[in-house]
Amino acid sequence: KNNLRTIANAESISKFRTCYLLDLRNHGDSFHANDMHFTSLVEDVIHFMNHMSMDKAIWLGHSYGGKVAYLAGLMYPQFVSSIVALDVAPKSYTDRNELYRHLLTV
């Protein structure tokens, strides 16, 4: 959240839209839980969006958050208008994760 505050507060962005800066679970000021599955992190953000009555959003994620944004686009395209992923390592996890193998075939 703090890493992106400068971007969110930039006049060219904040003048035209409302920005919400969320910490993923177990990060920053968020709640802590044993479950760190990507799908659970996506569900956390979708829950927030529903709570705020948001239909769609631009998902901007840094590192781990970028991967969460990519998965959200696959799982809930109706909630994602676009994705901005910053500093995401080009590492493949498909060999270890059945969900990603399935999503790549969609």
The tens digit of pLDDT for each residue in 38-93 reads: 999 999 999 999 999 999 999 998 888 899 999 999 999 999 999 998 887 666 65
Residue 2's pLDDT band (boundaries 50, 70, 90)?
low
Average pLDDT score over residue span 9-32: 85
Cα separation values, 74 from 1, 5, 7, 66, 101, Å: 23, 26, 25, 13, 12
What is the predicted pLDDT for the residue at 90? 64
What is the predicted pLDDT for the residue at 106? 54
What is the predicted pLDDT for the residue at 27? 84
